[in-house]
Every structure is written in C-alpha cells, then in structure tokens.
Amino acid sequence: MEYQQKGEVLEYYQESVRTASSEQRLPAVIRVPGYVQKSSVRSRVRLTRRAVFMRDGFSCQYCGSGRDLTLDHLVPLSKAKWEAYTLRMLSQKGAGHSQQCWQ
C-alpha cells in the first residue's frame, strides 16, 4: 500500500481505526523513497504589533474589552532570552490593569 502516493508502508500497528463502513490499519513505519521538500509557504509569522493584535482578536486577554489596548510582555524583556510571538499579549492600558480586569 502506498501512503498518499509518497511512500510505502512497511509495518502497521496492531490497533486499527473503525468507522461506520470500514476499518483502516494504522501505519507504524513508512518508507519515503526520496526527500519530500517542504512547502515554500513561510512557516513562521513575523513578529509585529499587528500580528499580535490580529492573533488576540483586538481585545484584552484578561477581560475581553476592545478599548485602550497595549502590548504586554508576559516575560519582562530583561528576563527573556529571545523576542517571541508567544511572549506577548494584549491588555488594557493602565497600572494594575490585570487586577482590574479580573475583578
């Protein structure tokens, strides 16, 4: 059996997946005859303010408000080893905004 016309299944797991009309064996080892090149589509999102705003839906991640938003660092920049997309989030402006939003 070929796996998605890209490889050959050498071994199967003992378990199988059942549906209402069929039963499929699960491949455990697949041999690929050559290198399968990854898609040329950029796999990483560029770290920009707009990307973080879009990811967070233009709303505070504590309370959901869409007013007076600012970009918060979950880990202070002085402590972070790198600047990462996952280390930022949107929140309302002002001192103690996280405590205000939770109450």
Q: pLDDT digit string (tens) for 18-30? A: 888 999 889 899 8
Give the predicted TM-score (pTM) of the model. 0.46
Give one word for 64, left, alpha or beta, with left for phi > 0 and alpha for psi -120 to 50. left
Map tokens 């560029």 to a residue: 46
State which H helix or E strand residue 53 sits in. helix 49-55
pLDDT digits (tens, 9 = 90+) for 33-85: 877 666 655 556 677 888 888 888 998 888 888 888 888 877 766 776 666 66
